[in-house]
Amino acid sequence: MDLKGKRAIVTGAGSGIGKAIALKLAERGAAVLVNDVDPEAASATAREIEERGGKALSVGGDVSKGEDVREMVRLCIEELGGVEILVNNAGIARSALLINLTEEQWDEVMNVNLKGVFLCTKAVIPHMMKRRYGKIINISSIYGRIGAIGDSNYCAAKAGVIGFTKSVAKELARYNINVNVVLPGLIDTPLLRGIPEKYLGPMIKEIPLKRVGVPEDIAGVVAFLASDEAGYLTGAAIEVTGGWNM
Ligand code: NAP
């Protein structure tokens, strides 16, 4: 699963799953553009990659803003020389029961979790299509398939990412661009720590592997999808949940 010579963009890579993905792709030899809405968090991840002997460029930016996204892709091409891999990882939760959910909370989650995936994908594909090579990996959630109380906005956006992935995989197959989506289960990150223990405890009991995942559990699967060994996978929705899926 060698990624030497490849250039990757990982969004939301200042923390959690995105950070683990950025570190893993760099360890496999890719030069990584580390994006995060928090520029300091992005630089910290980039520094860690460099300390481990890898190549990284950090770019602060909001994936829900077209201008930020286009600038990020321009910098990747200018500074790293191209882009073969895009990991759409940035995501947020704004949890509330539907009865209390505000229009603002709905829009915020849709803009980052779904529109962000659209904007980043649209910005990289002209380059990938021209070179007839690309690997796009979207991070959805098992919640996008099964739903969750208090997260209708998040689940709707994550379900949207699955539909988007499957459509774009069909459109881009002729350009040798693979587009897949990963559906993590419960993964130990700051996002998960936002779920109250009274809900989390019972959910963990339902996981056949009897533990929450760690960010590296997702990073390993993403590194595989970014490699040529996964060349015959496209439009796939891969559940990485310790067996938990309902
Ligand atoms: P996390 O630790 O909160 O990391 C997400 C990162 O994305 C944060 O650094 C965050 O910055 C950044 N971000 C937020 N809004 C952004 C924006 N508009 N543009 C660019 N970056 C932005 O969460 P995580 O658990 O690693 O989640 C990563 C992905 O996995 C998300 O898409 C999430 O939905 C998905 N996921 C997570 C789990 C889980 O159990 N953890 C399960 C299923 C799916 P700030 O911290 O400054 O906001």
Which tens digit of pLDDT belongs to each residue from 76-104?
A: 999 999 999 999 999 999 999 999 999 99
Q: What pLDDT, on a 0 to 100 scale, did the predictor assign at position 200?
A: 86
CA distance 71 to 77: 10
Ligand 1 nearest atom to the CA of residue 64, by list position: 18
Q: What pLDDT, on a 0 to 100 scale, did the predictor assign at position 224?
A: 98
Q: Which residue from 9, 10, 11, 17 has its CB within 8 A of the most atoms of ligand 1, so it is best to mutate?
A: 17
Question: Does pTM surpass 0.85?
Answer: yes
Tokens of 29: 């030899």
| Whole-Å CA distances, 45 to 10, 51, 62, 143, 170 | 11, 10, 17, 27, 33
Ligand 1 centroid–CA 157 distance in Å is 13
Q: Is the CB of 36 under 6 A from ligand 1?
A: yes
Q: What pLDDT, on a 0 to 100 scale, did the predictor assign at position 143?
A: 97
Q: Which residue from 10, 191, 204, 217 has its CB within 8 A of the most atoms of ligand 1, so it is best to mutate?
A: 191
CA distance 140 to 128: 22
Contacts of 104 (CB under 8 A, 6+ apart): none
Ligand 1 centroid–CA 11 distance in Å is 9
b/e 28-64 (16+ beta carbons within 10 angstroms → b): bebbbbbbbbeeebbbbbbebbeeeebebbbbbbbbb
Low-confidence residues in the chain, pLDDT < 50: none
C-beta separation of 101 from 156 below 8 A: no
Ligand 1 centroid–CA 36 distance in Å is 9
Q: Is the CB of 152 under 6 A from ligand 1?
A: no
Tokens of 61: 């930016």
CA distance 83 to 36: 17
Q: Is the CB of 186 under 6 A from ligand 1?
A: yes
Q: Where are the alpha helices (DSSP H) in 36-147?
A: 39-51, 66-75, 103-110, 116-131, 143-146
CA distance 45 to 124: 22
Tokens 């704004």 found at:
94
Q: What pLDDT, on a 0 to 100 scale, did the predictor assign at position 192?
A: 83
Active site residue 154: yes
Q: For 117-145, how does the pLDDT look when each residue is reduced to its tens digit (9 = 90+)?
A: 999 999 999 999 999 999 999 999 999 99
Contacts of 113 (CB under 8 A, 6+ apart): 90, 91, 92, 154, 157, 158, 160, 161
CA distance 35 to 45: 9
Q: What CA dihedral angle connects 79, 134, 215 and 139, to 10 degrees? A: 110
Q: Is the CB of 178 under 6 A from ligand 1?
A: no
Q: What pLDDT, on a 0 to 100 scale, did the predictor assign at position 176?
A: 98
Q: What pLDDT, on a 0 to 100 scale, did the predictor assign at position 48?
A: 98
